[in-house]
Amino acid sequence: KLMQKMNDLRTPALVVYKHKVEANCERMLKLAKDHGVTLKPHFKTTKCLEVAIMQTGGTKCGMEVSTLVEADLLAENGFENVIYAYPISPHKTPKCAELSEKMKSFVVFVDNVAALKALEQWKLKDNKNWQVLVEEVVKCGNVTFSGLYSHCGHSYKCKNAEEIKEVGKMATNKMLTLVDELKKQGITCPSYGIGSTPSCSKPAPEMSKLTEWHPGNYVLYDLMQVKIGSCEIDDIASFVLTRVIGHYTKGEDVFLIIDCGWTAISLHGVKDSEETSGYGLIVDHPELKLAHMSQEHGIVKSKDSTKPLDLSRYPVDSFLRIYPYHSCATCAMHPVFYVADQNDNIIDHWRPVKGW
């Protein structure tokens, strides 16, 4: 299976450029280091063990997860200090107890009283305390207050680095005010972080006053991040490889069929419109747009409806590469990621953990 050529892959296939993932991971580790904060990278985009190792710079320490299967995978592979950055609910207490007892540190996030009561009532082995992150402060018996956590989702409304920095600054200042108020009440806040991919990719100087950042999507980036201003198009580390499988001319309507449908790229993206590229960007073909998605095929049209496609430029069996609009969503559709080097050799297969 190793040392396959990319062009031998059966399509559709999700291809990941390892050197780009490495560069994205290293850049974010360095940014965090330069700002004096701990990087707590989020696992939700790829859910592949190999990527978690890169995200932590090999330390296997401090990942964040959105599902319990991600936590299981990391726990089984020697990761420590995992944060379950998802509102815990009472039903998930027993599983979280198991993870808290198994790992040196497993931190949960609480946003309601019912969940907190369930933790209080569940005694961990060896008198271990639950470690709890919150958006506002709580006090309980067997619960250690681990810090304040905010995602900074507002940064997804930005359109350039300046706007991102402004949002990052505001979110940081809000967080720091809360930390100060706590201090006045005699409560020390062990950690306080914000962080989405936009705010950590283009950090405001103020963000150095936080203790941690927790971006996730940056490992692959995508078109959405390019539009927000988080990254350049060449930073996008994954694409769907697809082949042209047919040519159609129906009256005025001239289009290509490709073997990538919504099962391979997801329906995330901007619907068919003249200005956009649709559900993804067809690399090196600014004249094309991904106009329609069926389960197993896609329809590619001319972006400029006044210029019909010259079908002879896209022979049957020729390749197209599609940058996803939302790489988390595209990754969720694939059982295997085909890992490529700079020479388009397939050097590895990564298998994401699936389910909940």
Ligand X SMILES: Cc1ncc(COP(=O)(O)O)c(C=O)c1O
Report the interface residues with a copy of itself, using CB under 8 A: 10-13, 44, 66-68, 86-92, 95, 111-112, 114-115, 243-247, 257, 259, 262-264, 266-268, 295-297, 315-317, 328-329, 332-336, 354-356
Our finding on whether 298 is near ligand X (CB under 6 A) is no
245 binds, among a copy of itself, ligand X, none (CB under 5 to 8 A by kind): a copy of itself
Taking the C-alpha atoms of residue 326 and residue 185, their distance in angstroms, rounded to an integer, is: 42
Q: Which residue number, 297 or 334, has a Cβ lying nearer to ligand X?
A: 297
Distance, in Å, from the CA atom of 292 to the CA atom of 289, rounded to the nearest integer, reads 9
Q: How many residues bind ligand X (CB under 6 A)?
A: 10
Binding mask 139-178 for ligand X (x = CB under 6 A): ------------x---------------------------
Q: Is 326 in the site for ligand X (CB under 6 A)?
A: no
Confirm or reject binding of residue 39 to ligand X (CB under 6 A).
Answer: no
Going by C-beta distance under 8 Å and a sequence separation of 6 or more, which residues neighbour residue 106?
71, 75, 82, 83, 84, 96, 99, 100, 131
**Helix/strand/coil for 283:** coil
Number of H helices, E strands in the chain: 10, 18
Q: Which is nearer to a copy of itself, 203 or 225 (CB)?
A: 225
Does residue 347 contact residue 289 with C-beta atoms inside 8 Å?
Answer: no
- Of 12, 168, 215, 278, the one binding ligand X by CB under 6 A: 215
What's the rounded Cα separation, in Å, for the pair 114 and 118?
A: 6
Binding at 186: pick from ligand X, a copy of itself, none (beta carbon under 5-8 Å per type): none
> Which helix (H) or strand (E) element contains residue 244?
strand 238-250
> CA 182 to CA 272: how far, in whole Å?
49
Minimum distance, C-beta of residue 339 to ligand X, in the bound complex (Å): 21
Tell me whether the omega of the peptide bond preceding residue 12 falls within 30 degrees of 0, making it cis: yes
Residues in touch with ligand X (CB under 6 A): 42, 85, 151, 196-197, 214-217, 295
